[in-house]
Amino acid sequence: MTTQELIAQIKKKKSFLCIGLDVDLNKIPQHLLKDEDPIFAFNKAIIDATHHLCVAYKPNTAFYEAYGIKGWKSLEKTIQYLNKNYPEIYTIADAKRGDIGNTSTMYAKAFLEDLAFDSVTVAPYMGKDSVEPFLAFKNKHTIMLALTSNEGAFDFQTKEVNGRELYKEVLETSKGWKNSENLMYVVGATKAEYFTEIRKIVPNSFLLVPGVGAQGGNLQDVCKYGLSENIGLLINSSRGIIYASKDENFAQNAALKAEELQQEMATILAQ
C-alpha cells in the first residue's frame, strides 16, 4: 500500500488506529483453546469485530515465533486472511530486524514478499547497509526504531552523538539513504514531549506510535505535538484493546475499546 492510499483510508475511516495482534495463549478466552488454531481463531474474531474502526494491524512476530512452527503458521494465516478479506487495511510485521546487507534482503523477502505485509519494523543499530535492502521494496514501508516507548530508551537513544541526541542522529542521517521516502519511524507514546523536536527533523514522515493504553501513553498529548499536515501518525494499542475481556464477548468488548480511541481520533481530525 502506498502512503497516499494509507492517508486516504485514514480520512475515510476518521481513524489512525493500529491494533496490535500480540496473542498470548494465557490471555485469550478458554473456549478458543479447543480450536485447531486458537491464535488464528482469536485474531479472526478480533479483526472481524474491529476492522471498520482501524486502518492497520500490527502482529508482533515474537508472539508467534514463541509457539514455533505452529505460531508461524498462525501468523501466515492471519496476514493471508487480512490481505484477502480486508485489502484496504495496512499491515505491519513488528519484527525489529536488521543485519548485514544480504541477510537483511532475506528478512525483507520473508516479511514483504512471502508473507506480503505492507511494512516491517527494523532496528537502525547496524546502519545504512542494513536498512537499505528493506527500502528497495516498492510500495512497501520500512519502519525504523527512533525513540522507543520503554524506559531503556534513555540508555542510548537520548545520549549525545556528533553533538545531538542519538535518536535525532538516526532520523537526520536516514533521510539521506536511498529510497528514504519508504521510511516511517517508531516513536513511543510515552515520549510525547519529544514529538515537537522530532517533527522539526521529519515534518511529514509517518510515525508508528506504540505505548497508548497498557504503557500509559496519552493519545491527546501525542496528537498535540505529533500530527503532521498529512496526519502522519499510526497510533498502536495492543493489550488495551485485544484483552478487553476474556469471556465469550471478547471481540465485541475489544471493538468497544477500539471505538473509544477511534472516536477520540475523529474528534481530533475534525478540529
Ligand X SMILES: O=c1ccn([C@@H]2O[C@H](COP(=O)(O)O)[C@@H](O)[C@H]2O)c(=O)[nH]1
Would you name the residues annotated as active-site residues? 96
* β-bridge partners, 165: 160
Among 103, 158, 173, 215, binds ligand X (CB under 6 A): 215
Does residue 121 contact residue 145 with C-beta atoms inside 8 Å? Answer: yes
67, three cell numbers:
509457539
Assess 71 for contact with ligand X (CB under 6 A). no
- Judged by CB, which is closer to ligand X: 94, or 132? 94
212 φ, ψ to 5°?
-80, 140
Assess 148 for contact with ligand X (CB under 6 A). yes
Assess 239 for contact with ligand X (CB under 6 A). yes
- Judged by CB, which is closer to ligand X: 136, or 197? 197
Site size toward ligand X, by CB under 6 A: 18
Report d(CA 182, CA 69) in Å as an integer.
31
Query: Could you tell me the smallest distance in angstroms from the CB atom of residue 90 to ligand X?
Result: 15
Stretch that binds ligand X, among 174-182, 196-204, 213-221, 261-269 (CB under 6 A): 213-221
Among 61, 236, 253, 262, binds ligand X (CB under 6 A): 236
What residues have CB less than 8 Å from 47, skipping those under 6 apart?
21, 57, 78, 81, 82, 85, 86
Among 119, 149, 182, 205, binds ligand X (CB under 6 A): 149
* β-bridge partners, 18: 56, 236
Distance from the Cα of residue 164 to its chain's centroid: 27
Assess 238 for contact with ligand X (CB under 6 A). yes
Site for ligand X in 240-259 (CB under 6 A): 240
Q: How far is CA 250 from CA 35, 50, 135, 231, 247, in A?
A: 16, 11, 38, 31, 5
Assess 60 for contact with ligand X (CB under 6 A). yes
- Judged by CB, which is closer to ligand X: 98, or 210? 210
- Judged by CB, which is closer to ligand X: 101, or 216? 216
Query: Could you tell me the smallest distance in angstroms from the CB atom of residue 270 to ligand X?
Result: 25
Site for ligand X in 172-211 (CB under 6 A): 186, 188, 210-211
- Judged by CB, which is closer to ligand X: 75, or 186? 186
Which H/E stretch holds residue 134?
helix 128-135
Among 3, 10, 19, 20, binds ligand X (CB under 6 A): 20
Half-sphere exposure of 101 (CA within 13 A, CB side): 4
Quote helix, strand, coil % in the chain, to nearest 5.
50, 20, 30
Residues near ligand X (CB under 6 A) are 20, 22, 60, 94, 148-149, 186, 188, 210-211, 213-215, 236-240
